[in-house]
Chain A
């Protein structure tokens, strides 16, 4: 069986991950290693008056005053109106959210470090907190960063002729939507272990990150070290989802203390730290006005998007990425001509916004998909019909949309048609009516999106980021025994890249992936890569491995031709061997000749050897677009507000599927997270900015019992612009569930005159809406 591209095979890494043999930061133990605990701000907003270390503990407790030689995290942006923030790894002057690091304490064990942390006294003069992003925009709001004169990291404006439409459009639908603040909750939290390696003259930082090469740059710049003095190693990483794609203040403090004390220092994030200081994503508010004709054909959209960014601008992705993506991606897969959108990226006293699987699109997809259904209800048509008519038709591909997104390929309406067929829309309305007659409330909902993946240099440059990805590089090598080594600076934190990159190499070299070893995540061993984010791994690292493996395959043929006494062009690779007709030599023979017995090769043999590093960038810089339609049937219990998902179908087109099994896993996992967004997950704060959801008893994640049996369907429209026609897919399935499920809830609840426009649609919210609607009806009668 071939293990190349398209093979449906189990993951190479699963044996170690599933049998407890993986090595995470928490598993590493170095001689003389101590543990760190952080003292974190107990208030949301305040001015630090004093920090007192316990008696005799000056060399065990460190504050911003000690770390005075460290540069703050400062993410610059070239976008106009942008305000940058200085985030010191330990708060300096002010604290701006509950959970912000104030001091770092070290001790032989974590428990002792926590004992020490408790004894640190901090005096803070409280300031009024900024909790509500809409109020934070008002002129009299308290200020987080006084020097700005407002609370706005960024405002953007995309203009369009909405005023004409307002006068002429037959149908106008106005809505407000909101999405809750979330925590990403990877199974493994953050963790960092740093030590100074005297022999190498390097600070070695083991850290749970998606972007080891970026973190090397970040640590070097903040600590004032040459990059050659810093080596970052991301060992096994237990989930990232974006949480681990930015420079973390804790990485800097731990690195500084390790260097200062000469001791290996480790910090391991615990779940409470995660739920408090990691409450950093997804919180959006939308004001939308959609204009349509009598059939529901979308004519234009007027939007105001407010993103609750939190206190600081993360490096390197800045506080602006979310709103920039939201404003650009709101029109999504739809074909319409007029668009106006204003975005506000607002500073609040909450942890700093970090991009989470789907980046902005779970919010924009929710807002857009509910609007499509609202239009359909306004014109009295089946929502999926209206959806299909508004989507970019296949005949218009490639298509440049109203925000200049270049959709490379695909048949968007067909994805809805497939979803209709498989979820059973045709018989559903009769079943729904019958159920209603029996007091049961079923609803159906659809949600379609495009997922820009592997967006390239120009896209990131347009977002004004301080650090822009370019070429991705990879090294592929044949060892003296004929096995294969692949090295990539990208990283796998659960996506299966160890397997899929091996499959790409196997595609060219025909060696079974069991003989292909993939090394990632260590800046000391791998070619430069900006890392794993933006669904770029398979397109970019896969492309680079493909290119390197292709070149290497050519060299294998050259050497094999010497051994088989033929021309390189006559050689065919198959089954890990080089063939000339029926004669063949194995990779082990070729490798032995090159490395151990060069006397068997002619004197004029090509000297480049069996080791190739290549760089890769797709033919277009604008990203390639995966798309999908999700369809859900739900039953709402109007007495409890509980939503049960009866059926869930996903139709997805991500171009060439490198490994269908892994792809399905990504879809299941992403959809599960999307269901968390849709129905369960919500960070809550009181009026003082104190988080109310600091344990998993309060912050509810869906479990296996809450998830449906997902059904999947696929198309493979190859991208014309990438190697093998691959498109990115890692984020996609997390994007659509909010739209599909809440559209289904609203369909189910139509007899009650209830419309849910905020997620998560918790039982309390759904039941509350039903009770209020019924009270209002009674009052009116």
Chain B
């Protein structure tokens, strides 16, 4: 379990990083905390000739806030979010999600940007950020562009980013005091990737209501139908209704998986609405 040979650079400007990405036509990969890529390198499942470490790029470890958004640099670690260094866009949800990622040792090095770009279907941030309606700021050769989270992940380990693009910032809209959220995951053991994740975010002030399922084998599944139903009734949908939605989702899910997703959903929404 030793990686195949690679070179690694740690550029301090985005231009240099992009030059490194363009400089080689086969196998340059960005590395941030290395908590997913590291094992894949060691298993030789990923065999890039070059690694570009993004953690020294300007602004990537920064945390900013505006009136309307919280902006998290892509190389900010889960631990910093867990510890409350990031301003709270919605009543503690970021800290809650961050604290449930793997183990503290992983959170000390793993980064939010690395997790999003790795796009593991069972990871937390892809689902949580979809529920929060985050926008990802990526910088390519022709400048920066924004990708809404809902269209970011194309499938398991696939994203909408071009090969020479670098994720720099995650922009999360601020929610009002009336906003509610729920996040529930079913894991075989503490710290493992989830078997089922459900996230729920609702804010009457911005007329937002999102229902998202994670660990479905591909991109997070967003159900507008369930969101509409909850927004209309203000109640937790019956499990059988949720299961019917998942069965009709086109996703390839086993009966057990459908049940677990539906239960996770039910618990997430119950949690969100319970103190409303």
Q: Does A430 lie at the interface of the complex (its beta carbon under 8 Å from any beta carbon of B)?
A: no
Set of chain A residues within 8 Å of B44, measured between Cβ atoms:
114, 118
State the Cβ distance, B257 to closest chain A Cβ, in Å: 9
Among A680, A695, A700, A767, the one with the most B-chain Cβ atoms within 10 Å of its Cβ is: A767
Bitwise interface map of B from 160 to 202 toward A, beta carbon under 8 Å scored 1, else 0 = 0000000000000000000000000010111111010000000
Q: Which residues of A contact B190 (CB under 8 A)?
A: 703, 705-706
Measured between alpha carbons, how far is A764 from B263 in the docked complex, in Å? 14
Q: How far is the CB of A62 from chain B (nearest CB, A)?
A: 20
Closest Cβ–Cβ distance, residue A681 to chain B (whole Å): 11
Which residues of B, 251-273, contact A by the 8 Å Cβ criterion? 255-256, 259-260, 263
Q: Check A768–B255 contact: CB distance below 8 A.
A: yes
Docked CA distance A110–B2 (Å)? 7
What's the dominant secondary structure at chain A's contact region?
Answer: helix
Whether B1 is near chain A, meaning CB under 8 Å from some CB there, is: yes
Shortest CB–CB separation between residue B19 and chain A, in angstroms?
28
Q: How far is the CA of A222 from the CA of B190 in the complex (A)?
A: 46
**Chain B residues in 8 Å Cβ range of A60:** none
Q: Is B1 within 8 A of A271, CB to CB?
A: yes
Residue of A nearest to B192 (CB): A700
* A639 CA to B3 CA, complexed, in Å: 42
A640 at the interface (CB under 8 A from B): yes
A272 touches B1 (CB 8 A): yes
Assess the A768–B256 pair: CB atoms within 8 A.
yes
Chain B residues within an 8 Å CB radius of A67? none
CB closest chain-A residue, reference B186: A640
Contact A767 B259 (CB under 8 A): yes
Is A642 in contact with chain B by the CB < 8 A criterion? yes
Grouping DSSP codes into helix (H, G, I), strand (E, B) and loop, the B interface class, with mixed when no group exceeds half, is loop
Q: Mark A100-134, 1 if CB is under 8 A from B, else 0.
A: 00000000011100110010000000000000000
Instruction: Give the contacting residue for B255; candidates A110, A762, A771; CB below 8 A.
Output: A771
With A680-B188, A763-B186 already in contact, the answer to whether A118 and B4 are too (CB < 8 A) is yes
Across the two chains, which residue of chain A brings its CB closest to B258?
A771
State whether the Cβ of A702 lies closer than 8 Å to any Cβ in chain B: yes
In the complex, the answer to whether A700 meets B1 with C-beta atoms within 8 Å is no
Decide if A702 touches B189 in the complex (CB within 8 Å): yes
Residues 1-58 of B contacting A (Cβ, < 8 Å): 1-5, 39, 43-44
Give the chain B neighbours of A697 by CB distance below 8 A.
192-193
Are A771 and B1 in contact (CB-based, < 8 A)?
no
Q: How many residues of A contact B (CB 8 A)?
A: 27
User: Is residue A641 contacting chain B, with contact meaning CB distance below 8 A?
Assistant: yes
8 Å CB contacts to B: which residues of A755-781?
A: 762-764, 767-768, 771
**Smallest CB gap from B5: residue in A:** A115
Residues of B within 8 A of A705 (CB): 189-191
Complex CA gap A109/B255 in Å reads: 48
Closest chain B residue to A701, Cβ basis: B189
Chain A min CB distance to B274 (Å)? 16
* Chain A residues positioned under 8 Å from B43 (CB to CB): 272, 695
Please indicate which of the listed interface residues A109, A110, A763 has the most CB atoms of chain B within 10 Å of its own CB. Answer: A763
Residue contact B260 to A767, C-beta cutoff 8 Å: yes
Contact between B2 and A771, CB atoms less than 8 A apart: no
Q: Are B189 and A703 in contact (CB under 8 A)?
A: yes
Measured CA separation A680–B187 after assembly (Å): 12
Check B193 against A767 for contact (C-beta < 8 Å). Answer: no
Closest B residue to A764 by CB, please name it.
B256
A270 interfacial contact with B, CB 8 Å: yes
Residue of chain A at shortest CB distance from B257: A764
Instruction: Tell me how far the C-beta of A121 lies from the nearest C-beta in chain B, rounded to whole angstroms.
Output: 16
Closest chain B residue to A762, Cβ basis = B188
Closest to B195 in A: A763
- Scoring A residues 615 to 653 as 1 if CB is less than 8 Å from chain B, else 0, what string do you get? 000000000000000000000000111100000000000
Output the nearest chain B residue to A700 by Cβ-Cβ distance: B188
Chain B, residue nearest A270 (CB): B1
CB contact list, A293-349 vs B, under 8 A: none
Q: Are A115 and B4 in contact (CB under 8 A)?
A: yes
Q: Other CB < 8 Å A-B pairs besides A680-B188, A763-B188, 12 of them?
A: A111-B2, A114-B44, A115-B4, A118-B4, A271-B1, A272-B1, A640-B260, A695-B39, A695-B43, A703-B189, A763-B260, A767-B260
Query: Could you name 26 residue pairs across A and B whose Cβ atoms are closer than 8 Å?
Result: A111-B5, A114-B44, A118-B4, A270-B1, A272-B1, A639-B259, A640-B186, A641-B260, A642-B186, A680-B189, A697-B192, A697-B193, A700-B189, A700-B192, A703-B189, A703-B191, A706-B189, A706-B190, A763-B188, A764-B256, A767-B256, A767-B259, A767-B260, A768-B256, A771-B255, A771-B256
Interface residues of A (CB under 8 A from B): 109-111, 114-115, 118, 270-272, 639-642, 680, 695, 697, 700, 702-703, 705-706, 762-764, 767-768, 771
- What is B's interface to A at a CB cutoff of 8 Å? 1-5, 39, 43-44, 186, 188-193, 195, 255-256, 259-260, 263
5 tightest Cβ-Cβ pairs between the two chains A and B: A111-B2, A705-B190, A270-B1, A639-B263, A114-B2
